[in-house]
């Protein structure tokens, strides 16, 4: 029940931060939002200190992902006393909603999430090589476009600007702030646009093929009371990370 109350408080605190940025509200509304902001900060501060008090390994919790998020979510309000505008950084509190997977024991979603993370991790070498090739291609195309368009087009006034245009074009973003005007430049731009579609498809195919090879593990949201890490099998008795007993009894 406390965790469910905590989720509701996180949502309300994020809403308060967003509404506080609206300048058209009257002064009394802004004053009320500031009071609510401090109320939520005090609640989250007390909760963070209680978690530090109750966990067996305080250093592990403080250095864990949720521990860092819990701390960062309360610091902006205190920093706002010395730095104006720092309270807007409290929007990071939305990351605390990731606790919903643990609170409601959504093991199916946890399995799929770990499945995606594992596929991304196993594909990192292939994607790194692919990105390296893309970077080299943008440098080459950008340099060529500077040679072709530099003398007649003010937009391509340097190689870095030409590389910027190449990145915008190859990713199919197309801001339109720079565009070639010579026939050769337009031909190269057309070639780059066609290449851009294939570039989008390659990393997608790499990750998809890696995901097809993976079989989600039968894990639970059981948290080790010693190292506070998740990802244990359903029948596990001991933590596979630190070796501590998973059952308090």
pLDDT in tens, 158-171: 999 999 999 999 88
Residue 43 is assigned to a structural domain of this protein: yes
Residue 227 is assigned to a structural domain of this protein: no
**Burial call 181-202: b when 16+ CB within 10 Å, e when fewer:** ebeebeebbeebeeebeebeee
Indicate if 95 and 44 belong to the same structural domain: yes
pLDDT above 90: residue 155:
no
Residue 132 is assigned to a structural domain of this protein: yes
Indicate if 186 and 133 belong to the same structural domain: yes
pLDDT tens readout for residues 36-74: 888 888 888 898 898 888 888 888 888 887 788 788 778
Indicate if 127 and 74 belong to the same structural domain: no
Domain total of the chain: 2
Indicate if 6 and 100 belong to the same structural domain: yes
| pLDDT value, residue 103 | 53
Spatial separation of the C-alpha atoms in residues 26 and 23, rounded to whole Å: 8
Domain that holds residue 178: 122-213
Residue 110 is assigned to a structural domain of this protein: no
Residue 238 is assigned to a structural domain of this protein: no
Domain CATH number, residue 169: 1.10.287.70
Mean of pLDDT values over 200-222: 71
> Which residues fall within 8 angstroms of residue 42, CB to CB, at 6 or more apart?
none
Q: Decide which of 170 and 248 is more confident.
A: 170
Spatial separation of the C-alpha atoms in residues 29 and 132, rounded to whole Å: 52
pLDDT tens readout for residues 195-210: 888 887 888 788 777 7
Indicate if 8 and 95 belong to the same structural domain: yes
């Amino acid at each position: 029940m406390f965790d469910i109350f905590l989720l509701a408080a996180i949502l309300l605190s994020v809403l308060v931060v967003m509404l506080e940025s609206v300048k058209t509200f009257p002064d009394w509304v802004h004053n009320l939002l500031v009071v609510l902001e401090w109320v939520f900060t005090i609640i989250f501060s007390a909760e963070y200190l209680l978690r530090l008090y109750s966990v067996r390994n305080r250093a592990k919790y403080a250095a864990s992902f949720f521990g860092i998020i819990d701390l960062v979510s309360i610091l902006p309000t205190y920093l706002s006393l010395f730095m104006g505008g720092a309270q807007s950084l409290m929007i990071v509190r939305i990351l605390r909603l990731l606790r919903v997977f643990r609170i409601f024991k959504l093991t199916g979603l946890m399995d799929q999430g770990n499945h995606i993370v594992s596929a991304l991790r196993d594909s990192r070498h292939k994607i790194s090589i692919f990105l390296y090739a893309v970077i080299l291609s943008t440098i080459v195309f950008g340099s060529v476009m500077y040679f072709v368009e530099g003398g007649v087009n003010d937009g391509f006034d340097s190689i870095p600007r030409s590389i910027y245009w190449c990145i915008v074009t190859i990713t199919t973003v197309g801001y339109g702030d720079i565009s070639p005007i010579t026939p050769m430049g337009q031909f190269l731009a057309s070639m780059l646009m066609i290449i851009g579609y294939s570039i989008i498809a390659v990393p997608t195919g790499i990750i998809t093929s890696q995901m097809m090879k993976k079989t989600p593990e039968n894990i639970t949201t059981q948290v080790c009371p010693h190292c506070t890490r998740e990802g244990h099998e359903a029948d596990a008795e001991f933590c596979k990370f630190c070796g501590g007993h998973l059952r308090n009894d």
